[in-house]
Structure 1
Amino acid sequence: MPTGPVISSCASHMASHEPEVKSSTSIIPCFLFVELVLMAGTVILSYHFEYTDTFPVHSQGFFCYDTTLSKPYPGPESTSRAPPRLLYPLITVLPILTILIGEISSVLIYPRWRNRERVITCGDCCFFNPLLRRVVRILGLFSFGLFSTVIFAGAVQTVTGNQTPHFLSVCRPNYTALGCVSHIQYVSSPYACTGDPELVTEARKAFPSKPAALGAYAAVYTMMYVTLVLQVKGSRLVKPSLCLALLSPSWLLGLLRVAEYRNHWRDVFAGTITGSAIAVFLVTCVLNNFGSTESKTEEDELPLQESNEAIPPVLHPALTREKAPKMHPQMSLDPPPCLVPVTPDVLIPSNCMTSQV
């Protein structure tokens, strides 16, 4: 009995489910001297845009008695219905928890889905588990995109210097000294405001809305993760419900910014487009849709491999030729005997063929 092919097929079947090991000497140097350096530079640059005056804001002029800039001052950001102490933890903690729960659940429910990835070793001491590498890659890129959104929005705000709807309330221009006699008169003097300089500077950072950009980035990134990675069987409404639940806070935040006269609708729209574009770019072009395409093809190939392995081995041609006569006996060339009635009481067997007219 040929046991060699069976044993080899069983060994290959078992090896296909075991994680492969790959040696790499460049993963740690690349992480320490390239990725961490870029991440640190992004964090430092975003800090300068957010909390320092390293980059001066462009002083844009305004029209006298402009009603679109004369809304009442809503107060500092801490008095908003979505203050920074609530907004920033929601933007960071909710996506991180969603990704961690999704990755751990995928490993527990579909262990073969992760075993197809390789365990990378660097030397004799460092082993990088596929789950750990995947979580670090997804969350690290999420953090990078978050700080990149802050930098992009801050840079556009600094260059444009567009005013908020309550700009004239904090600017407090002296219309008499400026000689304003009509609504079409344009004031371009950088010293036209007599209010608090800090409030005036903050009131010039309206386009695009930074909170709207951050909220849209976190929502779209997490929504794409839920759509592309999580697998829910038996229901078609779980994923859409989760996606709508993730997008709703971002939409409510944009509406709240407009309702509190902190941003114009165009500022919120531009911020939403900015954050969404950065999230889509990172997921599609950098993470390749979280590797969902490769994992699905591997899952589709596994049942085919198992079904192919279940097929019994093909017999040798010589054996098939020997067993063929036994399995399919040859039929004689002579026609089968038939019974022709000669008399009503006697049946004589003979080789004949009958036909009906």
Structure 2
Amino acid sequence: MPFDKTRWETYKYILLELVIMAGTVMLAYYFEYTDTFNVHVQGFFCYDSAYTKPYLGPEESSAIPPVLLYAVVAGVPTLVITVTETAMFLMQYTSKELDSREKSIVTGDCCYLNPLVRRTFRFLGVYAFGLFTTDIFVNAGQVVTGNLAPHFLTVCKPNFTALGCQQALRYISHQEACTGNVDDILRARKTFPSKEAALSVYAALYLAMYITCTVKAKGTRLAKPVMSLGLMCLAFLTGINRVAEYRNHWSDVIAGFIIGVAIATFLVVCVVHNFQGKLLLSEESSQDGMDGPPMMGAQRVESPLEKYIASQMAELREEEQGPRSWTDRILNFVSWATGISPSRFRHLRHTRQ
């Protein structure tokens, strides 16, 4: 079997992307569910009013619990992108004359990948990569800074008398000062930046830019900004809820917003190029055909619009030469509808005669 360099290059790039994605997921897992990275222990002043807010219970009791947030962040963009790409593909599929070469993209020697599947997986793959990257950035910031939550002293429950806090400005830096629940104390040390704010604004901005750049249907000039601003408003309300429930400071939420916006903007602009890369059918197929090895003997397929324009130009030339019969007019119309040249019809007619 001869060595196919092009196919090997394709497989190599796919393997590299899978390795990068797997490494990103594993790093996010270690940050999230293991104690591999120790959280920095930040001290506090006795009776500091910035950390004496009431503790309203675990994260599950919040107005926006983690389960709901993660389900929305993962499910809504996946559903919207899949439905939109499918609708666009069906609209183009039924509105154009396309042969089998234009309706599928060859990858290798034996596998054919539908452009709908390729485009959908591309946008969703970039989105998932950005989601895990945002989580890594946020967890890294929380581990390095160890910033305290507004309710830290409430869950820490320090013995101020034993710590010698007769002076209000005494600084406590050792970890053994707290007597409360260890898990609550650890979560109260990981607030900067806000993970909920970063993930929500990342998902909202990515989806808003996708809707704005991809959907080109008539009558959506006002619908697209309304949907986009609605998504951004939900992300903003998520950050406000974190501050209202004394789970994050304003600085934590703003830092989370900055991280989410930066990652979403970078991926959309530099990786998927504002979702303006390749169309679902004909243009994507032609581009992929140019990137791969040349196809020997492949004929160019004219679109219906090109055939119609050519027939109209032929009619103008014939009108300049002289009047045409009704038979010629019918032949031109049938030629435009079927794609067969008028000369072939005339040849068949003369042959029968």
Same fold, judged at TM 0.5 (above): yes
Write out aligned runs for 1:196-275 (5 A): 196-275=181-260
1:262 corresponds to which letter in structure 2?
A: R
1:28 corresponds to which letter in structure 2?
A: Y
Change (3 A) 1:72 1:54: same
> What SS does structure 2 have at the residue aligned with 1:72?
coil
Q: Does 1:121 align with 2:104?
A: no
Change (3 A) 1:183 1:44: same
| Structure 1 or 2: more strand by fraction | 1
Q: What CA distance in whole angstroms lies between the structure 2 residues aligned with 1:193 and 1:113?
A: 70
- How far the C-alpha of 1:215 sits from its partner, in A, is 0.7
Q: Does 1:160 align with 2:117?
A: no
Which residue in the other structure is 1:28 paired with? 11
Which residue in the other structure is 1:6 paired with? none
Q: Does 1:85 align with 2:67?
A: yes
> What SS does structure 1 have at the residue aligned with 2:175?
coil
Q: Is the 8 A contact 1:226 1:243 kept in 2?
A: yes
Highest CA radius of gyration, 1 or 2? 1
> What SS does structure 1 have at the residue aligned with 2:106?
strand
Q: Is the 8 A contact 1:150 1:210 kept in 2?
A: yes
Which residue in the other structure is 1:12 paired with? none
Q: Is the 8 A contact 1:107 1:113 kept in 2?
A: no
1:279 corresponds to which letter in structure 2?
A: A
| Structure 1 or 2: more helix by fraction | 2
> What SS does structure 1 have at the residue aligned with 2:313?
coil
Which residue in the other structure is 1:76 paired with? 58
Q: What CA distance in whole angstroms lies between the structure 1 residues aligned with 2:310 and 2:59?
A: 65
- How far the C-alpha of 1:198 sits from its partner, in A, is 1.7
For each residue in 1:103-132, what CA deviation from the matched residue of structure 2 results, as whole angstroms up to 9, or x when unmatched? 011112234799779713211x21122111
Identity of aligned residues (%): 49
Q: What CA distance in whole angstroms lies between the structure 1 residues aligned with 2:304 and 2:160?
A: 78
Q: Does 1:37 align with 2:25?
A: no
Q: Is the 8 A contact 1:232 1:238 kept in 2?
A: no
Q: Please report the RMSD computed on the Cα atoms of aligned residues, expressed in angstroms.
A: 2.9
1:72 corresponds to which letter in structure 2?
A: P
For each residue in 1:325-352, what CA deviation from the matched residue of structure 2 results, as whole angstroms up to 9, or x when unmatched? xxxxxxxxxxxxxxxxxxxxxxxxxxxx
1:27 corresponds to which letter in structure 2?
A: T
Q: What CA distance in whole angstroms lies between the structure 2 residues aligned with 1:181 and 1:57?
A: 29
Q: What CA distance in whole angstroms lies between the structure 1 residues aligned with 2:22 and 2:316?
A: 64
Gaps of 5+ in 1: 1-22, 324-357
Q: What CA distance in whole angstroms lies between the structure 1 residues aligned with 2:180 and 2:96?
A: 61
Q: Does 1:95 align with 2:77?
A: yes
Which residue in the other structure is 1:8 paired with? none
> What SS does structure 2 have at the residue aligned with 1:120?
strand
For each residue in 1:73-123, what CA deviation from the matched residue of structure 2 results, as whole angstroms up to 9, or x when unmatched? 111111111112211111100000000111011112234799779713211
- How far the C-alpha of 1:292 sits from its partner, in A, is 5.2
2:235 corresponds to which letter in structure 1?
A: S
Higher mean alpha-carbon deviation, 77-86 vs 104-113, is at 104-113
Higher mean alpha-carbon deviation, 110-119 vs 68-77, is at 110-119
> What SS does structure 2 have at the residue aligned with 1:177?
coil
- How far the C-alpha of 1:25 sits from its partner, in A, is 4.1
Which residue in the other structure is 2:349 paired with? none
Q: Does 1:184 align with 2:169?
A: yes
Q: What CA distance in whole angstroms lies between the structure 1 residues aligned with 2:261 and 2:96?
A: 29
TM-score (norm 1): 0.74
> What SS does structure 2 have at the residue aligned with 1:175?
coil
Change (3 A) 1:139 1:219: same
Change (3 A) 1:119 1:177: same
Q: What CA distance in whole angstroms lies between the structure 1 residues aligned with 2:60 and 2:316?
A: 80
Q: Is the 8 A contact 2:103 2:114 kept in 1?
A: no
Q: Is the 8 A contact 1:162 1:205 kept in 2?
A: yes
Q: Is the 8 A contact 1:228 1:292 kept in 2?
A: no
Q: What CA distance in whole angstroms lies between the structure 2 residues aligned with 1:84 and 1:160?
A: 22
Which residue in the other structure is 2:292 paired with? none
Gaps of 5+ in 2: 1-5, 285-302, 322-353
Extract structure 1 runs of 4+ deviating beyond 6 A: 112-118
For each residue in 1:43-79, what CA deviation from the matched residue of structure 2 results, as whole angstroms up to 9, or x when unmatched? 1111111111110000011111111100111111111
